[in-house]
Structure 1
Amino acid sequence: MQTHRSGCHREEEVSRCQRIWDMKLLTVSALLCAVMALTGAAVIPEEETGPDQEEETFLDKRSTSCAAPWSKFNGRCFRYFPKRLTWSRAERNCHSIGGNLASVHNIEEYHEIQRLVLTATYEHKPVWIGGSDAHQEGEWLWSDGSQVSYTNWCPGEPNNHGHQHCLQMNWGDEKCWDDLSCAKRLPFVCAKRT
């Protein structure tokens, strides 16, 4: 008499037990793949060069200072996150990976962030960036502490309609900035220094 895993003895039981075992193994494999996909790959730290070693130079600086899926632009790394979060949760998420919600300092940076969103979603989706006037109405600050030196407000914005204290971009037909309630859930863009 043949004995199989889980104490299966008869041939029909062995076949049934084998199918159950195969389904358990398939389920565990699928869960493992899902966890890996959702958490992303760990970033491997770059090796430091010593005083008598030359640093290797690459033509594509994106690959050396902003590990995928980050994108380098103007000395910072940017990354689009499709998960819809409130502004404060999005900021905490960015902070947990060494950055902040993106600040925008010129039209080129704005277009680069738009490009990231468009590449990921095939449309100009509204997203959170790091502007807020929650501390004092009308005084907009970036969450990374940098100065607000560039703005791209839509006509009539910011209007604080219904306690709107957080900044979304790609709003309306003009794909410009709008103040929005911080409790709304949007995808977001993080930035960090290289």
Structure 2
Amino acid sequence: MLLILFSGKAEKFMVNIPELDVSPVQGSIGKSTTALGLIECTFMCDSEEFCDAIYYNQSSSRCTTVHNQTDNYSIQTELSGIYYKTKEVKTCLYEGYEYAWELDVCLKFYITTTERLSWSYSRTRCQNEAGDLVVVDSEFKDKLFLLYLNHIHDMTSVQRWWIGGSDVLNEGQFEWISGQNITYTNWDPGQPDNASNDGTTNADCIQYFFRTIEQSFAWLDLRCDSNISSICESRAFI
């Protein structure tokens, strides 16, 4: 559930984070009182300088504001209700990018046939927009991109996407474009195998590939000169 808040000129929204409904969070209680509804509860948070989250109990109409920026002890949430976190909506500088609040970055998915380029040209295009190919260095980011890509696949049937990993510099040692070794992985079984679909070797770059049987995406290595779709991430905001 998303709720739009306006605080001065900054547009914000609040999003429910279900896993925190029943788990302690870090912070201190700002105010705990009854509210006429969820909207009024969000306005209460918006009026407090350090409030960045609320708990709202619909059955009791109890609204509890949380100041996560001030203290660092745990609040026992089982008495408080459903957790909503404040997120600021940022505007991306470059055309076609959308703000992903979960990562605090702007993302662009190059989908169409004419937009499909090699790994290096795809990366250059991202860099020209103050970004780079996406680095998927955690399970959280991987699961998030799986949601994105599955949704796009349902609409467009696009099956291959470049991301920012390769073993170009050291065969067999995959690393991210940031230079860090790849520790978290989502390789398809048997990957990487240094082979492309046409039987050629030197498959040095990482792609997300849609697996028809599993109906989901996983990582495969592919020749870097293959022209496929790509995902850019940028922190260029207006």
Q: CA deviation at 1:147?
A: 4.5
When residues 156 and 95 of structure 1 are mapped into structure 2, their CA distance, relative to the original with a 3 A threshold, is same
Residue 71 (1) aligns with residue 105 (2): no
Equivalent runs, 1:39-118 vs 2, <5 Å: 56=10, 58-59=12-13, 61=87, 63-66=89-92, 69-72=97-100, 73-82=102-111, 83-118=115-150
Structure with bigger RCO (C-alpha 8 Å, 6+ apart): 1
Residues 21-70 of structure 1: CA distance to partner in whole angstroms, max 9, x if unpaired?
xxxxxxxxxxxxxxxxxxxxxxxxxxxxxxxxx88361264632546632
Query: What is the TM-score with the length of structure 2 in the denominator?
Result: 0.52
| Structure whose residues are more often strand by fraction | 2
Q: CA deviation at 1:143?
A: 1.5
- Within 2, Cα distance between the matches of 1:62 and 1:119? 24
Secondary structure of the residue aligned to 1:59 is strand
Query: What is the TM-score with the length of structure 1 in the denominator?
Result: 0.63
Q: 1:187 aligns with which of 225, 229, 234?
A: 229
- Within 2, Cα distance between the matches of 1:193 and 1:139? 28
Residues 123-158 of structure 1: CA distance to partner in whole angstroms, max 9, x if unpaired?
462200011101111111112344423110111111
Point out where structure 1 has 5 or more consecutive residues left out of the alignment. 1-53
Point out where structure 2 has 5 or more consecutive residues left out of the alignment. 1-7, 15-86, 196-200
| Structure whose residues are more often helix by fraction | 1
When residues 184 and 74 of structure 1 are mapped into structure 2, their CA distance, relative to the original with a 3 A threshold, is same
Equivalent runs, 1:113-124 vs 2, <5 Å: 113-121=145-153, 122=155, 123=157
The equivalent of 1:29 in structure 2 is none
Larger-gyration structure (1/2): 1
Contact 2:191 2:220 in 1 (8 A): yes
State the identity as a percent.
27
Residues 133-184 of structure 1: CA distance to partner in whole angstroms, max 9, x if unpaired?
0111111111234442311011111111211100001343442100000011
Cα RMSD after superposing both structures: 2.5
Number of aligned residues: 141
- Within 1, Cα distance between the matches of 2:117 and 2:126? 11
The equivalent of 1:128 in structure 2 is 162
Contact 2:10 2:88 in 1 (8 A): no
